[in-house]
A and B are shown apart, each in its own frame.
Chain A
Amino acid sequence: MSTDATIDPTIDPTVDEVCAVAMAEAFRGDGEILCNPIGTTPIIGGRLARATFEPDMVMTDAISVLAANVLPVGDDDAPRLVEAWMPYRDVFDIVWSGRRHVVMGASQIDAHGNQNLAAIGDWRQPKAQLLGLRGAPGNLVNHATSYWVPNHSTRSFVSSVDVVSGPGYDRVAELSAFVRHNHEIRRVVSNLGVFDFRNEEHRMQLVSVHPGVTVGEVVEATGFELLVPDDVPESRLPTDEELHLIREVLDPRGLRKAEFR
């Protein structure tokens, strides 16, 4: 952020905006695919990427069409520039075509990228029933996936997940050449930093820490051994154009703030 001791949130980027940019960066280089982020910050990030450096991506209006214009998040009444009908069923054709990059949440994630959205405890009679497998099993074996975890702690970054909704690299290593080729966990963005699996072992490594966060804090909040390079940069700050887009165009109501509690 600013080098000054005091941060002026009307001028300086705040953590939610750094996260939106980190989420946008997940899509860099994707080209003409379905950018399909789920959750407020991921949606802002995806729409930000398309409005700036990835203009060829297609995106849904989160209901039933592909909208070519820049839409504010959570606004069902904003006018859509419809470029295609995309009923729910057709999304699976795109999943199976591989031309998609999804961002999902993860109630739990482990060092290999195994994700749990389904249940805490024994799935036969869970202590807490969560959303379920949802589309995660199919997503992971067909196209790129990223994760958004706004509550980084040893309860979300765990040594072993209770249920595998989306399989990580260790499980996929035993599957077919097709699946190994199509499976990719591009990045994980949390409220503390950015992570990926770009090393020989495909284990989660720290890519950057958000402004004001130390490497030690990230390690402390992670329930497995995180790979940490010698030099860990700070996460990229939003440009002036990005800040304008986030604050004035993509999320004028500030819905993103609710994910940080």
Chain B
Amino acid sequence: MTEDEVVAELESGMTIGIGGWGSRRKPMSLVRAIARSGLDDLTIVAYGGPDIGLLCATGTARKVAYGFVSLDSIPLEPHFRVARQNAAVEFAEFDEGAFYLGLLAAAHRVPFYPTRAGLGSDMLTMNPDLRTVASPYPDADGNHEELVAIPAFDLDVSLLHMNRADAAGNGQFLGPDLYFDDLFAKAARRTFMSCERIVPTEDLLDEGTFHTLKIPRLFVDGVVEAPRGAHFTECPPDYGRDEAFQREYAATARDPEAWAAFRERYVDAPSHEAYLAAVDAREGVGS
């Protein structure tokens, strides 16, 4: 598939989960395709990085649900910061571990998972729809402990970026961390996966052991080959984060004119290839 063919499967108003973590292995070619598509009213669910920042800045996201939104080397995503301070998006902020349980509950098709995370903090104040549940089992003192019930995240679609995949949709991560990509795939009704390179199934063990084959085709509905598809986020071992480009992106949050120029040049580039050409054409910067 192409990025635009994936976008054709989406509709305004959907809830979309995005894999990766912060500014790490984000399916950025798919995120940009959504941002330039005219889709809107989306709910984005992610351990957020520039995916959430960009979809806030372009007005594509109506609501964001997250464990955090960070660019790693820049601790708070600046476009997300602006959106929050202007109350430009609705938001659901979760404890990082509680967020994991929302994905897990969806993947397991149970309505919620219980946790103590959130008790006593303002997570419950900030999410007035969150409910607690009493343990059906008494503790040693005969008390039924009250726990937070993290609801299953109801995802229409998940988007992932992997290092390798085969054409059937078996995905492989070659970096140090899968993050929660397998759960995003299992939690959503449909999952589309971009990858650095599509390889024949018989070559999947050439670069990593079978432990790296964590996304079986059972949970994948379409594959996009997108070399440098996670740019400017990191995608080790294929490439690290483009820190210079990330700084450029981050700086546009403070300057509407700079943002308009960035958006036109990079976000609205008509294809992933055109985007990479624009990135590589920057003065004094090689690929």
List residues of A whose CB falls within 8 A of some B CB: 63-65, 87-89, 92, 95-96, 118-119, 123-138, 140-142, 163-167, 171-172, 174-179
Contact = CB atoms under 8 A, between A and B. Distances in A.
Given A135-B96, A138-B116, A129 B143 contact: no
A164 B123 CA distance: 8
A136 B141 CA distance: 28
A210 B243 CA distance: 38
B94 to A, nearest CB: 7
Given A138-B96, A177-B143, A167 B85 contact: no
Contacts of A129: 76, 80-81, 84-85
A89 B179 contact: yes
B119 A87 contact: no
A165 B139 contact: no
A96 B97 contact: yes
Nearest to B240: A76
18 contacts: A89-B178, A89-B179, A96-B97, A126-B84, A127-B85, A129-B76, A133-B96, A133-B126, A137-B120, A138-B115, A141-B117, A142-B117, A165-B122, A167-B119, A167-B120, A172-B120, A177-B141, A177-B143
Contacts of A138: 95-98, 115-118
Contact of B121 (A127, A128, A164, A177): A164
Given A132-B69, A134-B96, A138-B115, A125 B121 contact: no
A122 to B, nearest CB: 10
Contacts of B69: 132
A124 B87 contact: yes
B93 interface: yes
Contacts of A89: 100, 178-180
Nearest to B96: A135
A111 B141 CA distance: 31
Interface string B181-196: 0000000000000000
Nearest to B183: A89
B75 A87 contact: no
A6 B35 CA distance: 60
Given A141-B119, A178-B116, 17 more contacts: A64-B177, A88-B179, A126-B85, A129-B84, A131-B76, A133-B122, A135-B96, A136-B95, A137-B118, A137-B120, A140-B121, A141-B117, A163-B126, A165-B121, A172-B120, A176-B145, A179-B119
Nearest to B48: A132
Contact of B146 (A95, A142, A176): A176
Best-buried of A92, A130, A137, A166 by chain B (most CB within 10 Å):
A137
Query: Top 5 A-B pairs ranked by shortest CB distance?
Result: A167-B120, A138-B117, A137-B121, A64-B176, A125-B87
Report the interface size class on chain B.
35 or more
Interface of B: 21, 66-70, 75-76, 80-81, 84-87, 93-98, 100, 115-123, 125-126, 139, 141, 143, 145-146, 176-180
Nearest to B88: A125
Contacts of A118: 93, 122
Contacts of B143: 176-177
Contacts of A65: 176
Contacts of B85: 125-129
Contacts of A96: 97, 115
A127 B85 CA distance: 6
Contact of B120 (A124, A128, A140, A177): A140
A133 B94 contact: yes
B120 A174 contact: yes
A89 B75 CA distance: 19
Contact of B116 (A64, A88, A128, A141): A141
A133 B123 contact: yes
Contacts of B86: 125
A65 B176 CA distance: 8
Nearest to B182: A89
B153 to A, nearest CB: 16
Contacts of A165: 121-122
